[in-house]
Amino acid sequence: MSVDSCVLNDDQVARLAHTRFAILAQLGETASTNSVLVAQARLGAPEGLVVVADDQSAGRGRFQRRWESRPGRSLLFSVLLRPRREDLPAGRRHLATAAVALALVEGAKMATAVELRLKWPNDIIGSDPVRSEAKVAGILAESPDGTALVVGAGMNVSWAPEGMGATCLTALGPGGTGPVDRAEVLVESLLALERLYGRWDLVGRLYRESCATIGREVSVALSEGTPALVGRAVTTDDDGHLVVRTGTGPDGREELVTVAAGDVTHVRPT
């Protein structure tokens, strides 16, 4: 099988020329786009630098899980962000990751007309003819020095790992979408991120509107050795944190727990 290189054409490069994401490093294969960009961030690389690769030999997700991909069949990229502390303090930095997730949903929609949604905190999901809910993409954010933020994304384009509740863009929608231009998904996503970046209150609102976790019964793994938090996800707050209703107190009021970080499982109705 030939590998479709994720290389931007002249028109796509020109569309990014006046954005903060005008500088892209396009790699054939690397261990991890996040690892490349973390190293560049420590060397003082400017905000907006993008690294995209056709393949990763050591891609990873949250909690050091391995991210599976196939050469030329996934969109694999990372962006370097440097939000100002006064604009985005530590307690709100999840909104930068949320902005990338929202941008990737918009990019996929513009390039393929596929409708995707968000699963808190960092997953993108879709519905295919076989599964009612399947993972299409994941986001991983790392802060190499406490100020810079490297946000990586892996999106299944024409392949998805079996037995892991995953699907890909070409499998979504009636009859599938046909061939997908990965470079076009990337460009549309970066243009969307340019529009969202810095508009953190808007990001918080749009994330809430796009989050499929809200309204679901959930089990939230908080940390190793800690019992999972079980309840109904009722909303996300303005900082992008998940609010879970765990029950009703003796006074009849809802018992609400705000979760800043955790691993969420959507509990399917029996």
Task: List, for residues 59-110, the tens digit of each pLDDT value.
Answer: 454 545 665 767 888 999 999 999 999 999 988 999 999 999 999 999 999 9
Contact between 53 and 77 under an 8 Å Cβ cutoff? The reply is yes
Contact between 196 and 165 under an 8 Å Cβ cutoff? The reply is no
Q: pLDDT tens digits, residue range 252-265?
A: 788 999 999 898 99
For residue 33, count other CB atoms closer than 10 A to its CB. 25
Amino acid at 103: A
Domains and CATH numbers, the chain: 10-210 (3.30.930.10), 217-266 (2.30.30)
pTM of the predicted structure, to 2 decimals: 0.91
DSSP label of 193: H
CB neighbour class for 235 (10 Å; exposed up to 12, middle 13-18, buried from 19): middle
DSSP 3-state of 23: coil
User: Which residues, other chains included, contact 184 with Cβ-Cβ below 8 Å and sequence gap of 6+?
Assistant: 12, 111
Which pLDDT score is estimated for 213?
95
Query: What are the C-alpha distances in Å from 269 to residues 19, 58, 213, 216?
Result: 45, 36, 14, 9
CA distance 55 to 46: 24
Amino acid at 232: R
CA distance 153 to 37: 12
Which pLDDT score is estimated for 60?
54
Which pLDDT score is estimated for 128?
63
CA distance 149 to 83: 8
CA distance 177 to 121: 27
- Average pLDDT value for the chain: 88
Alpha helices in 197-252 (DSSP H): 200-210
Please report which confidence band the pLDDT of residue 140 belongs to, taking 50, 70 and 90 as the band edges.
very high
Higher pLDDT, 146 or 152: 152
Whether residue 136 is predicted with pLDDT greater than 60 in this model: the reply is yes
Which pLDDT score is estimated for 231?
94
> DSSP assignment of 115-176, as one string?
--EEETTTEEEE--SS-SSEEEEEEEEE-SSSS-EEEEEEEESS---TTTTB--GGGSSTT-
Q: pLDDT tens digits, residue range 2-35?
A: 334 567 889 999 999 999 999 999 998 888 999 9
Lowest pLDDT segment from 64-78, 144-158, 212-226, 241-255: 64-78
